[in-house]
Amino acid sequence: MKEKVILAYSGGLDTTAIIPWLKENYDYEVVCCCIDVGQGNELDGLEERAKLSGAAKLYIEHITDEFVDEYVIPCVKAGAVYENKYLLGTSMARPVIAKKLVEIARKEGACAICHGATGKGNDQVRFELGIKALAPDLKIIAPWRCNDTWKMQSREEEIAYCKAHGIDLPFDASHSYSRDRNLWHISHEGLELEDPANAPNYDHLLVLGVTPEKAPEEGETISLTFKEGAPVALNGEEMKASKIIEKLNEIGGRNGIGIVDIVENRVVGMKSRGVYETPGGTILMEAHTQLEELILDRDTLAYKKGVGDKFADVVYEGKWFTPLREALQAFVESTQKYVTGEVKVKLYKGNIIKQGTISPYSLYNESIASFTTGELYDHHDAEGFINLFGLSLKVRAMMMEANREK
């Protein structure tokens, strides 16, 4: 019997062309595996396309809830944002995809896993770090790095290669954006975005929503309920987290929320420019932040900001299955014990406007914070505090004055 290879299969032109390439260059039996993390109608027609291209079998693993509950929500709790803008949509999905590829490889007794990520991108790092962490014995094949055997450098060449192998597929050679989609977001790269001097062609580009200019003239107010840092209800209706994100994508999309144009630093060292649509995720992250500022004490909130930044770096770099990520997440979870409450926001033309936050664990005390005198705070106490807090400044100023007089 032939050895088997598991191909991470999206159904696009690249991974479709990889099927006959694997059979031709490795003589493997190709088992395709598509991991559904909420990419919607991109899954249509995959089974027929995979078999037409020469695959022996196709797995479609529907794991949206696992993706959201075990990968997305920990990032929300951490406040993980890469380089102040990117909400890690693609980054969060890669480890769970790698995990499922390994599971199918074990089930099929495969000796290798193949992915279609390019040699310039982040995804090759994320996929391969995940596979190495979970199955160090498996061989990894990355066609775009196989210069001796992978000769195709354009869509036209890939289409010609498929036709030469008797595969007639509904792809054309017209260029389009390079996109990655899941329940959390959709990314766009290529075309005019490759030159940072160009403005994005939003009329041609956007998939999940509209620009703020095209959003309704009236704002839309919603409420989100959290329990221990995780969202549990939208507008008072309890539902699982994946459903909340799905509905927030619709609401946020029509109000022009969550469109980010960023030049980011890739793991491999280069800068790349892309546009991300994350309408639901942007709302969820902002609501969670508003709730935390009411509940977490000053020191924890400040320290957690640094942890969130590090968590984002770890996820972006594909280091999900590491002791560091586990340790960071353990800290984050300990901070979320009392992050419970309701957040109301108004969505208006790309803006998320605070409308009120309540929590049984709020550290805001009106008696202390009020400008009128409260019984828990004595204004006279501030004098001694300031004298001690500023003592080092005063001592230094006295020293400087004494030296000037000499």
Helix (H, G, I), strand (E, B) or coil at 286: helix
Nearest to 24 by CA among 169, 153, 149: 149
pLDDT tens for each residue of 12-39: 889 999 999 999 999 999 999 999 999 9
Quick one: pLDDT at residue 370? 67
The angle at the Cα of 254, spanning 249 to 259, to the nearest 5 degrees, equals 70
pLDDT at 406 over 80: no
Q: How far apart are CA 106 and CA 264, in angstroms?
A: 36
Distances (CA, A) of 202 to 98, 212, 251: 32, 11, 19
Helix 298-316 × helix 323-335 angle, to 10°: 150
Encoding tokens for residue 128? 């391969």
Catalytic residues, which ones?
14, 94, 123, 178
Helix (H, G, I), strand (E, B) or coil at 59: strand
Q: 243-246: list long-range contacts, CB under 8 Å, 24+ apart.
A: 244/280, 244/284, 245/68, 245/72, 245/183, 245/184, 245/280, 245/281, 245/284, 246/38, 246/183, 246/280
Indicate the helix (H) or strand (E) that contains 233: strand 230-234
> 345 has which bridge partners?
222, 354
pLDDT at 373 over 70: no
The distance between the two most distant Cα atoms of the chain, rounded to a whole number of Å, is 94
pLDDT tens for each residue of 347-372: 999 999 999 999 999 999 877 776 66
Quick one: pLDDT at residue 377? 80
Rounded mean pLDDT, 169-176: 71
Encoding tokens for residue 223? 């409420």
Q: What percent of the chain has pLDDT over 90?
A: 85
Encoding tokens for residue 265? 């630093």
- Confidence label for 173 from pLDDT (cuts 50, 70 and 90): low
